[in-house]
Amino acid sequence: MTVDLPVSSIDGGAAFYSITHVAATEQGLLLSRIGEWLKPAGVFVGSFGTGSAHDWVGKWLGTEMFFSHNSDAVTFDFVRQAGLQMVRAEVVQQDNEDARFLWIVARKMN
């Protein structure tokens, strides 16, 4: 990961429809880094793919894209391991598509 922010330097972070384009094996590290960057009680909101589907390429928005996601249980474990407390988690059907996304709101524990 090339982003390097100071520890406890941000109040909140958001990742909408982007983490699914990070390799499933790297998503835990990404969440750990986000957990480090958040100030105490800082909030993270993000969407994740549902179901385990590691490293595949599919057509989306007219182009080939890389996708990867973990099971919901693994994602929940990554959130906890990052020092974040789940505030809300909900699987939502994407409008006009078969895709479903796991939306998470989490807060950094003090």
pLDDT score recorded for residue 97: 75
Q: What is the domain partition of the chain in residue ranges?
A: 11-108
| Topology (CATH level 3) of domain 11-108 | Rossmann fold (3.40.50)
The DSSP secondary structure of 54-104, one letter per residue, reads EEEEEEETTEEEEEEE--HHHHHHHHHHTTEEEEEEEEEEPTTSS-EEEEE
Contact assessment for residue 101 and residue 50, using Cβ atoms and an 8 Å cutoff: yes
φ and ψ at residue 24, rounded to 5 degrees: -55, -35
- DSSP-derived pairing of the beta strands 63-69 and 84-93: unpaired
pLDDT in tens, 8-22: 999 999 999 999 999
What is the C-alpha to C-alpha distance for residues 91 and 88, in angstroms, rounded to an integer? 10
Is residue 73 very low, low, confident or very high in pLDDT (cuts 50, 70, 90)? Answer: very high
pTM for the model stands at 0.90
